Chain A
Amino acid sequence: MLFKVFPVGELIRLFEILSADRIVGPVKKGEDQHGHSLYDFDVVHDFAELRLDYTQTIHSAKNYFLPYREDLCTFTFQDAAGAGGDETGGSGDGQGRPNAAGARDGGSGDWQKEVDYGVYAPLVLFGLHPCDINALNKLDKVLLGGRYPNPFYGEKRANMFIVGHSCNPQPFCFCKSMGTDSAIRGFDLFLTRMDDLYFAEVLSSRAFHLLEQIDCREPDSREHRRYLNEMAVKESLFVAHVDTSDLTKILDLEFQAPVWKEWGEKCLSCGTCAQVCPTCYCYGVEEHVDMDLNHGRKEKKLYSCNLLDFAVVAGGHNFRPESHTRLKYRYYHKHRGFVEAFEESLCVGCGRCGQSCLARITVPEVIASVRASK
């Protein structure tokens, strides 16, 4: 890895060079009832809007790589009985066969399907904390791996330039316990603030060339020590901890533990935790017919395993009817199932779910209570 340093004042030039592309970064959205600032990721048009001193955004940046709503495909219906049927019928085999009246009921005499990944321009994610960078690395494993890599996600990822930024650990952050408090890959450029200097980690040639355009130099050994000191200070600020030792086995052993029911009674099954989580990727699919009846679309919506009908099958059977079984499943997927598959947890310890939870259910408390089960 290459390291560079540049004066803090140069950051605006970096931003402006990058702003040829769309930049998404942390901006202030308002204040809570105690007067604390609320931040979220949004498109940044002006450097002054960018709040790199942000504590934690309410939502992760996932709307930009896993949109809450996304069309997987669109359909154009052709009434095969009409004149258009034969011209656009595609394969020769079906053309001679008249569609039965029943097809009219189906509204699908014939149809064409179009798939658009919706990626038209590069995107710069500016100011991601290590937890959110690690979240992307984890999502890559599941969404770009396996037999069916997801191109909707892959295309967005391939068109991203990521500038990470150092953070100030908040009382609810437990990324250190999850091993995600620093990012060693998954970014182009990572900036650590050292008073009047930025200490930059450079991972890609594009970032390297970018830094050539601003006032930038090699760090000296004194600055190396300053950087390491910054890291040590950051490390000392963590308050929340999760003991992950043997967690997969403990979760299996405590599958029937009564604490799950206690948490389940508190859980409102609202799905907020999944909405703010940087790694929750599960979804549902709905299809719609447009008002003109000539077009339709297949829409993907991010979902939450805490919602009541997550595992309902046709006929009405629900595989997880009780709130605690759904809450438990969420923990099993994050902390056991994903570990089993990829040897790391799916949770990055950003603490957003606990902060947003109306019932104040936090990951450190749930895991501590399960570990303490008798």
Chain B
Amino acid sequence: MKTELDFIQPVAGEQFEYSYKAEITNVYPLTRMEKLYQIQLVDPVEREQFIFRPGQFVMLELPGIGEAPFSISSSPVRHGDIELCIRAAGNMTRFLDRVGRGTRVGISGPFGTHFPVEKMEGEDILLIAGGLGIAPLRSPILAVLEKRSRYGQVDIMYGARRPSELLFGYEYAMWRQFDVGLNIIVDQEEPGWQGPVGLITELLKQRIADSVPDRFREQTSVIICGPPVMFRFVCDLLISAGVPVEKIFVSLERRMHCGRGKCCRCNIGSTYTCLDGPVFDYWSVLNLKEAI
């Protein structure tokens, strides 16, 4: 006998609550607050089949403690050997701060949209990061560096509060070796700091002033991640310099409890940051109320 609800097929439930079992294989302290966690999917087949694009995120679960979304900081070519850059800021991350290598965690994903670095081939790339925003940007940075010859001029602009809060400092020399313009600015000086002091918009203004205007307008793709206040200032500068809104990509942060478009916590209007984001082009952002 059929009921009216027979159209509802038992759904692929394993998918919904499935998480890959993974192991923390290494922990690098980056600063006082942030650590880089190297996490490996335990099953070799799952590890190989774990394919993500730069800008996507995973849900990291510490069983019994909590689950939260984190952007992947490693290169996509490494598949299921991922790296997550995590600040000890909440209950779960403070717990994570105390665990060591060998801890088994759950990883689900990858979720969300990505920075379309393939489509940017042939263009000049501008990567702009503020604070912890460098964490999601490291994946597109590495993806671009791996195919460096396919891109024009590549610039990274990175602003942090203090020099001691700069992340991935050990990689800067390597990035520069790939013919990348890396400019760093801090809000507050500390002894030994030789670089500029100020806001990231100053670096951007300088870059715009140094550029050939036509080329900047027509051949530049921009990738941005930072605190909410940074987006508007940076994007306004870019737009007034003539960069089309659809070539500016931002990664937005929101609270999430599922990553699968069901918990509604990450909604911006009708848009789910987990499904339609976290990477949005700026045209979409302009169409979202209260996005930035």
Q: List A residues at the B interface (Cβ < 8 Å).
A: 72-73, 75, 77, 80, 90-91, 93-94, 97-103, 105-111, 113, 115, 117, 140, 142-144, 146-152, 154-155, 157-158, 160-162, 185-188, 203-207, 209, 252, 255, 281-289, 296-298, 303, 305, 310-315, 317, 319-320, 325, 329, 332-333, 336-338, 340-341
Report yes or no: A100 in contact with B100, Cβ–Cβ below 8 A: yes
CB distance from A285 to the nearest CB of B (A): 4
Known contacts A151-B12, A185-B4: A314-B68 contact under CB 8 Å: yes
- Which residues from A are CB-within-8-Å of B101? 100, 102
Quick check: which of B116-124, B184-192, B237-245, B253-261 contacts chain A, the rest being far away? B253-261
Report the 4 A-B pairs with minimum CB-CB distance, sorted nearest first. A102-B100, A337-B270, A296-B64, A151-B13
Q: Could you show 15 A-B contacts with beta carbons less than 8 Å apart?
A: A97-B23, A100-B100, A106-B62, A108-B105, A113-B17, A143-B262, A148-B258, A150-B16, A158-B5, A282-B265, A282-B267, A287-B63, A305-B264, A314-B93, A337-B269
- Which residues from B are CB-within-8-Å of A108? 62-65, 99, 103-105
- Which residues from B are CB-within-8-Å of A147? 260-261, 275
Q: A144 vs B16: C-alpha distance in the bound complex, in angstroms?
A: 11
Residue B32 CB within 8 A of the other chain: no
Q: A311 vs B61: C-alpha distance in the bound complex, in angstroms?
A: 20
Report yes or no: A314 in contact with B254, Cβ–Cβ below 8 A: no
The B10-27 residues at the A interface (CB cut-off 8 A) are 10-17, 19, 21, 23
Q: A81 vs B147: C-alpha distance in the bound complex, in angstroms?
A: 43
Report yes or no: A100 in contact with B64, Cβ–Cβ below 8 A: no
- Which residues from B are CB-within-8-Å of A105? 98-100
Total count of chain B residues near the partner, CB < 8 A:
64
Please, which residue of chain B has its CB at the minimum distance from the CB of A295? B64
Residue B290 CB within 8 A of the other chain: yes
Please, which residue of chain B has its CB at the minimum distance from the CB of A341? B270
Report yes or no: B5 in contact with A333, Cβ–Cβ below 8 A: no
- Which residues from B are CB-within-8-Å of A296? 63-64
Known contacts A282-B264, A287-B64, A296-B63: A102-B8 contact under CB 8 Å: no
Q: A107 vs B13: C-alpha distance in the bound complex, in angstroms?
A: 27
Report yes or no: B264 in contact with A115, Cβ–Cβ below 8 A: no
- Which residues from A are CB-within-8-Å of B2? 204-206
Report yes or no: A310 in contact with B265, Cβ–Cβ below 8 A: yes
Report yes or no: B16 in contact with A77, Cβ–Cβ below 8 A: no
Known contacts A103-B102, A160-B5: A149-B12 contact under CB 8 Å: yes
The B25-52 residues at the A interface (CB cut-off 8 A) are 42-44
- Which residues from B are CB-within-8-Å of A287? 61-67
Report yes or no: A77 in contact with B21, Cβ–Cβ below 8 A: no
- Which residues from A are CB-within-8-Å of B261? 142, 146-148
CB distance from A49 to the nearest CB of B (A): 24
- Which residues from B are CB-within-8-Å of A341? 270
Report yes or no: A140 in contact with B8, Cβ–Cβ below 8 A: yes
Q: A255 vs B228: C-alpha distance in the bound complex, in angstroms?
A: 19
- Which residues from A are CB-within-8-Å of B212? none
Please, which residue of chain A has its CB at the minimum distance from the CB of B292? A319
Report yes or no: B67 in contact with A298, Cβ–Cβ below 8 A: yes
Q: A3 vs B102: C-alpha distance in the bound complex, in angstroms?
A: 65
Interface centre among B11, B19, B66, B271 (most CB of A within 10 A): B11
Please, which residue of chain A has its CB at the minimum distance from the CB of B65? A287
- Which residues from B are CB-within-8-Å of A303? 263, 265
Query: Looking at the complex, which one of B42, B95, B267 makes contact with A93 (CB distance below 8 Å)?
Result: B42
Q: A329 vs B255: C-alpha distance in the bound complex, in angstroms?
A: 15
Known contacts A148-B262, A188-B3, A287-B67: A252-B289 contact under CB 8 Å: yes
- Which residues from B are CB-within-8-Å of A329? 267, 290
Please, which residue of chain A has its CB at the minimum distance from the CB of B105? A108
- Which residues from A are CB-within-8-Å of B19? 113
Interface centre among A101, A117, A298, A341 (most CB of B within 10 A): A298
Report yes or no: A311 in contact with B254, Cβ–Cβ below 8 A: yes
Q: A187 vs B4: C-alpha distance in the bound complex, in angstroms?
A: 6
- Which residues from B are CB-within-8-Å of A310? 255, 265
Please, which residue of chain A has its CB at the minimum distance from the CB of B25? A97
- Which residues from B are CB-within-8-Å of A99? 102-104
Query: Looking at the complex, which one of B64, B68, B106 makes contact with A77 (CB distance below 8 Å)?
Result: B64
CB distance from B288 to the nearest CB of A (A): 10
Q: A280 vs B61: C-alpha distance in the bound complex, in angstroms?
A: 26
Q: A67 vs B9: C-alpha distance in the bound complex, in angstroms?
A: 20
Query: Looking at the complex, which one of A155, A160, A333 makes contact with B264 (CB distance below 8 Å)?
Result: A333
Known contacts A110-B104, A157-B8, A185-B4: A150-B262 contact under CB 8 Å: yes
Residue B174 CB within 8 A of the other chain: no
Report yes or no: A93 in contact with B43, Cβ–Cβ below 8 A: yes
Query: Looking at the complex, which one of A151, A161, A281, A288 makes contact with B16 (CB distance below 8 Å)?
Result: A151
Known contacts A146-B275, A149-B12, A332-B269: A109-B104 contact under CB 8 Å: yes
Please, which residue of chain A has its CB at the minimum distance from the CB of B86? A314
Given contacts A106-B99, A209-B1, 9 further A-B contacts (CB under 8 A): A115-B13, A142-B261, A148-B261, A204-B1, A206-B1, A206-B3, A284-B257, A314-B89, A317-B227
- Which residues from A are CB-within-8-Å of B8? 140, 144, 154, 157-158
